[in-house]
A = this chain, B = another copy of it.
Amino acid sequence: MARKAYGQRCPVARTLELVGDRWTLLLVRDLLGGPRRFQDLQAGMPGLAPNILSDRLKLMEEHGLVGRRFYSDHPPRAEYTLTPKGQELGMVIGALAAWGSRHADTRAHLVDAESGQEVRLGYFRADTGERVSGRRVRVARRESAGPTPRARRPAPSPSART
């Protein structure tokens, strides 16, 4: 079942409604490596019952995060691939991995596969590429085109010490 709505007009809350269910982000993590068959995904998730995996994948498909392709008709067997929308969750996985490698699983670290050097996450301006401190980043709202601009919700700062 989909995570119950938080009832908040906020891109963080709306995203968690789609991907905040137990297991969903771990499935995204595994699918970032390329297409996976149902049984591959299952083998990678000890503790995840097949019916729950099936439910999760169905929801992810409904939300446009994965595509499903049958590679066998008898018996029916499917493989799953992230859509571009699903692949963009890679940055969420990267942020979780970066934090975890500092605080929860400290033998892990994020590296650039080409140079072997450690990498970090950061913000940059879309127009100039200039780095921007997390303290300066805010969630803003594009105003409606109607005659009365909508009230702005207090915008939380997704700042980070990095």
Besides the known contacts A88-B162, A117-B126, 5 further A-B residue pairs in the complex with CB atoms under 8 A apart: A4-B47, A18-B104, A113-B136, A113-B137, A119-B126
Binding site for B on A (CB under 8 A): 3-4, 6-18, 20, 22, 25-26, 29-30, 32-33, 45-47, 84-85, 87-105, 107-115, 117-129, 131-132, 134, 136-142, 144, 154, 156-162
Give the distance to chain B from A66, nearest Cβ to Cβ, in Å.
14
Q: How far is the CB of A67 from chain B (nearest CB, A)?
A: 15
The main secondary structure of chain A at its interface with chain B is mixed
- A sample of 11 cross-chain residue pairs with beta-carbon separation below 8 angstroms, ordered by A number, consists of A8-B26, A11-B100, A13-B26, A18-B104, A29-B158, A88-B102, A112-B125, A115-B125, A117-B128, A118-B126, A119-B137
- When the two chains form their complex, are residues B108 and A10 in contact, meaning their CB atoms are under 8 A apart? yes
User: Pick the contact of A96 from B15, B22, B110 — CB < 8 Å?
Assistant: B15
Contact between chains at B160 and A108 (CB < 8 Å)? no
Asked if A11 meets B108 with Cβ closer than 8 Å, knowing A90-B134, A113-B136, the reply is yes
Find out whether the CB atom of A160 lies under 8 angstroms from the CB atom of B111. no
Contact of A32 with B121 in the complex, beta carbons under 8 Å: no
Point out the residues of chain B lying under 8 angstroms from A156, CB to CB.
29-30, 32-33, 93
Tell me whether A99 and B88 are in contact in the complex, defined as CB-CB below 8 angstroms, given that A108-B141, A118-B126, A127-B118 are known contacts: yes
